[in-house]
């Protein structure tokens, strides 16, 4: 941890975010503009994100596979909407082995095209369906304005790709996976989300329907934290991906794709962090409890370290991710600040007097000061107490974040009200029946976009806040990352 510290969120939220990434040793800038290097602690958080998602994918019948990083340029040209949507972000390889290539290669921005190329070879009959695949990979999108984790030239993610015999099955799959994301986000990440359908202008290039989960950051801006797309038969028709149905008739497959990336790590930082640094939900924290031994006299060091090691071992044996701070050069205060910056959910303090009583002190990261401290916790009862406290912290973080989200969404009945709400930094929710042109106008004039049309809708019809026309559903408008 450097001497620079962290800029207060109230002073400069963007600076605070970058300071936390630096001070908590999550990531650093790569030598190529717009790239990032994920440091071990930041990658450990990503590994826990992977574990939580991968378990859910396999429970829903998906298998992991891997597709090439390089894709023939002709592939992306086959689906008109897809090429139009991704052309500004493509990175092309034109020279390989010292020679100009006969056909340029795209560095993978997403894999729908190459997946379809293989589906055409693998799927011949209804017996081959559904095909439920996922891959963990990196992708490259040539972004002009970048920010670590939130938007970088290269990022890590998972992308699911599935093939189905009917439109109904594909739609059910797309809806199922956005709910899988919601479950992960709220139960593992303690990040509450609004889930819904994307507008026509905001949906994925080449999709029939796009669904997203939208999270509210600490500065009230929205972040698209995960998406699921019903691709219909668009890619299947472009690639000729057909199968023989039960009546021996050729049909085009129906598809989905869905993805969640290292952007979610940025969401965790911004939803939960404070002026002291990270606050990590226990289920994603690389270290759930850190043991900090404290002594003043040289003769106290050996017994205190032995007691601290016992605590570490007991907790580790109970399946709690535990670290023992072995640094004997820093003061206890410096160590407390260091582990607070790292967002470790529980700090365990142990000194000579504690050991005499076979006890220790527990400090919660999510509750500052004396209120978050438990004194005199018996070492023999520590595994149960720590596990119980971790669950309490996990639940409390979600409750706090949800209260923040819900208290910053306001209903609007006119364009003036929407403008006022958005300019104040909050989210506006209103009945919506506007055109694509109306949506673009709102974006140009207010900076807000349709984040989603929520699945949870009020009963009955309403009147569009912009046009006054009858509206069947409400939409969420907000400024976003």
| pLDDT, tens digit, 9 for 90 and up, residues 461-475 | 899 999 999 999 999
pLDDT at 282: 98
Question: pLDDT band for position 87 (50/70/90)?
Answer: confident
Equal CATH topology for 13-272 and 289-388:
no
CA atoms within 13 A on the CB side of 143: 20
What kind of architecture, by CATH, is found in domain 289-388? Answer: 3-Layer(aba) Sandwich (3.40)
| Interatomic CA distance for residues 458 and 450, integer angstroms | 17
Domain chopping of the chain, boundaries = 13-272, 289-388, 409-478
Query: Are the CB atoms for 14 and 237 separated by under 8 Å?
Result: no
| pLDDT, tens digit, 9 for 90 and up, residues 192-235 | 999 999 999 999 988 999 999 999 999 999 999 999 999 999 99
| Interatomic CA distance for residues 390 and 388, integer angstroms | 5
Does 104 score more than 80 pLDDT? yes
What is the overall mean pLDDT for the chain?
96
Provide the strand spans (E) within 35-86. 36-38, 63-64, 70-72
CATH number corresponding to 13-272: 3.30.930.10
Task: Write the DSSP assignment of 307-343 as a string of letters.
Answer: HHHHHHHHHHHTT--EEE----SS-HHHHHHHHHHTT
CATH number corresponding to 409-478: 3.30.110.30
């Amino acid at each position: 941890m450097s001497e620079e510290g962290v800029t207060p969120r109230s002073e400069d939220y963007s600076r605070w975010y970058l300071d936390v990434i630096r001070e908590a040793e999550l990531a650093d800038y790569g030598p190529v503009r717009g790239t990032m290097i994920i440091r071990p602690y930041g990658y450990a958080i990503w590994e826990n994100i992977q574990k939580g998602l991968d378990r859910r994918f396999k429970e829903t019948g998906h298998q992991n596979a891997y597709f090439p990083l390089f894709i023939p340029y002709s592939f992306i040209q086959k689906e008109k909407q897809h090429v139009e949507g991704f052309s500004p972000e493509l990175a092309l390889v034109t020279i390989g082995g010292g020679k100009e290539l006969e056909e340029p290669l795209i560095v993978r921005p997403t894999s729908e095209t190459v997946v379809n190329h293989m589906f055409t070879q693998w799927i011949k009959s209804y017996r081959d369906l559904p095909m439920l695949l996922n891959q963990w990979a990196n992708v490259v999108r040539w972004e002009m304005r970048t920010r670590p984790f939130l938007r970088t030239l290269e990022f890590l993610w998972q992308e699911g790709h599935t093939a189905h015999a009917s439109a109904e099955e594909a739609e059910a799959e797309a809806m199922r996976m956005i709910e899988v994301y919601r479950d992960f986000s709220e139960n593992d990440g303690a990040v509450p989300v609004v889930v819904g359908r994307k507008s026509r202008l905001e949906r994925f290039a080449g999709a029939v329907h796009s669904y997203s989960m939208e999270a509210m950051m600490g500065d009230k801006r929205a972040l698209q934290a995960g998406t699921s797309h019903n691709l219909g038969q668009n890619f299947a028709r472009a690639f000729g991906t057909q199968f023989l149905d039960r009546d021996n008739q050729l049909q085009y497959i129906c598809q989905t794709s869905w993805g969640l990336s290292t952007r979610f790590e940025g969401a965790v930082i911004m939803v939960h962090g404070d002026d002291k640094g990270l606050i990590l939900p226990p289920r994603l924290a690389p270290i759930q409890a850190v043991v900090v031994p404290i002594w003043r006299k040289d003769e106290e060091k050996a017994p205190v370290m032995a007691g601290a090691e016992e605590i570490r071992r007991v907790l580790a044996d109970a399946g709690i991710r535990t670290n023992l701070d072995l640094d004997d050069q820093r003061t206890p205060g410096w160590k407390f600040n260091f582990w607070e910056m790292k967002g470790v959910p529980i700090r365990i303090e142990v000194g000579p007097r504690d050991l005499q009583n076979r006890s220790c002190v527990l400090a919660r990261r999510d509750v500052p000061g004396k209120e978050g401290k438990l004194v005199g916790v018996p070492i023999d009862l520590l595994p149960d107490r720590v596990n119980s406290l971790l669950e309490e912290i996990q639940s409390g973080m979600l409750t706090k974040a949800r209260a923040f989200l819900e208290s910053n969404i306001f209903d609007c009945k006119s364009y003036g009200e929407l403008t006022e709400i958005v300019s104040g930094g909050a989210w506006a929710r209103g009945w919506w029946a506007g055109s694509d042109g109306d949506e673009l106008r709102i974006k140009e004039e207010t900076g807000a976009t349709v984040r989603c049309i929520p699945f949870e809708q009020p009963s009955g019809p309403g009147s569009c806040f912009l046009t006054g026309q009858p509206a069947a559903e409400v939409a969420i408008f907000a400024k976003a990352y």
